Amino acid sequence: MTAYIVEDGPQSGWIKVYVAGVTTAGGVTTLGSIANPEGVALHISDGYLKTVIDADAAATLDIGIGATGADSTNLCSAYDINGAAHEAVIYIVGKDAASEAAATSPKGLLWAANTFLNFYNPAAQISAPWEGYLYLKYIRIGEDLTLA
Amino acid sequence: MTVKIISDGPQSHWLKVHIKGNAAVVAATLGSIANPEGVALHINEGYLKIIAPSVGAGDLDIGIGVTGADSTDLVADMNMEGLVANAIYYVVSNNSASADAATTPQGLLWAADTYLNFYNNANFECEAYEAYLYLRYIRIGDDLTRA
């Protein structure tokens, strides 16, 4: 399992996470979890997933927020990483919200301070050699210094 | 009336405004924020986070205009009561196609000498209401290249 935050300068305001598939027999397994990087509640407002290499087998990808290692699906659910084209970029946060619409999944998501960004293959298929990058933007909403 | 820009460093490129209701039982302003840059800005992104709803049936308007005005071009008639703490709402829609006009509700000009206004347009108190508005904008008023 491999998921980690990438720190190559050009991300310019985006948190960039590298994710790779695994060769686990039976397939179904976590691909990694990332702890909340700020330690306060964040609102994920924007997100994209770029596939670098697709999987050889019919694995799928779930992404979401939850307890570490969980199969969370509130950002991406059963995305076909076998059929994903190299260099393809897909939306992770919906871009179809009207003004005054609730900014909840799939049009935004709370990342609570003590929770994790999870990557999971829920299909009984090997997910290697899939590789991708997840790009997220968020607002630090957990600080209410005015109220303190 | 209480609205003010919050300067807790971590806002990371968002203009963050604290909004507080008041006890007036007639429609009234909740405050106005002067253009913080003194040049024309294009508001391109915005969210409203609820901290606490009101008890009375206040209705929130947010927009750009002369100070103290009832401006509605960002938010119009949004319930202030019955809201869930920590809920987040879009203030600038994000459902625009390429080549769409970036005008309300898909973006808004904040002219140099105008104000960001908050107003309760209903004849009910809204004292318990508290929220944060987060905005992003582009400084479109700088034409240094042409000088």
Query: What's the rounded Cα separation, in Å, for the pair B90 and A107?
Result: 9
Query: What's the rounded Cα separation, in Å, for the pair B23 and A2?
Result: 54
Q: Which residue has the tokens 């008890």?
A: B55
Note whether A45 contacts B45, CB cutoff 8 Å.
yes
A110-132 pLDDT tens trace? 999 999 999 999 999 999 999 99
Shortest distance between the Cα of A95 and any Cα of chain B, in A, equals 5
Phi/psi for A2 (5° steps) reads -150, 115
Six-digit token string for B144: 């240094």
B147 domain-assigned: no
Q: Pick B93's closest partner by Cβ from A40, A98, A146.
A: A98
B119 domain-assigned: yes
User: What pLDDT does residue A8 have?
Assistant: 59
A132-144 pLDDT tens trace? 999 999 988 887 6
Note whether A147 contacts B51, CB cutoff 8 Å.
yes
Shortest distance between the Cα of B118 and any Cα of chain A, in A, equals 15
Six-digit token string for A21: 């598939």
DSSP state of A100: T
A18-43 pLDDT tens trace? 999 999 888 899 999 999 988 989 99
Least CA distance to A145: which residue of chain B? B8
Shortest distance between the Cα of A29 and any Cα of chain B, in A, equals 32
Least CA distance to B60: which residue of chain A? A100
Query: What's the rounded Cα separation, in Å, for the pair A45 and B102?
Result: 19
Query: What's the rounded Cα separation, in Å, for the pair A64 and A136?
Result: 12
Phi/psi for B107 (5° steps) reads 145, 160
- The dihedral through the CA atoms of A101, A102, A105, A108 has a sign that is positive
| ipTM value | 0.80
Longest C-alpha distance within chain B, in Å? 53
Least CA distance to A46: which residue of chain B? B94
B44-82 pLDDT tens trace? 999 999 999 999 999 999 999 999 999 999 999 999 999
Note whether B6 contacts A145, CB cutoff 8 Å.
yes
Q: Which residues touch A53 (CB under 8 Å, ≥6 apart)?
A: A86, A129, A130, A131
Note whether B75 contacts A99, CB cutoff 8 Å.
yes
A42 near A115, Cβ under 8 Å? no
CA distances from B51 to A64, B81, B127 (A): 24, 12, 13
Note whether B89 contacts A45, CB cutoff 8 Å.
no
User: What pLDDT does residue B14 have?
Assistant: 85
Confidence of residue A12 (pLDDT cuts 50, 70, 90): low
B108 domain-assigned: yes
User: What pLDDT does residue A148 have?
Assistant: 43
Query: What's the rounded Cα separation, in Å, for the pair A4 and B124?
Result: 50
B70 domain-assigned: yes
Domain around B135: 2-141
3-class secondary-structure state, position B1: coil
Query: What's the rounded Cα separation, in Å, for the pair B65 and A130?
Result: 52
B77 near B121, Cβ under 8 Å? yes
Number of domains in chain B: 1
More confident position, A5 or B10: A5
B146 domain-assigned: no
User: What pLDDT does residue A140 have?
Assistant: 86
- SS3 letters for B117-145? EEEECCCCCCCCCEEEEEEEEEECCCCHH
Q: Which residue has the tokens 């702890």?
A: A35
User: What pLDDT does residue A53 have?
Assistant: 94
* The residue type at B44: N
Q: Which residue positions in chain B have pLDDT lower than 70?
A: 1-12, 143-147
A48-107 pLDDT tens trace? 999 999 999 999 999 999 999 999 999 999 999 998 888 899 999 998 999 999 999 999
How much of chain A exceeds pLDDT 90, in percent?
Answer: 70
B35 domain-assigned: yes
Mean pLDDT of chain A: 89
Query: What's the rounded Cα separation, in Å, for the pair A12 and A25?
Result: 38
User: What pLDDT does residue A9 have?
Assistant: 42
B24 domain-assigned: yes
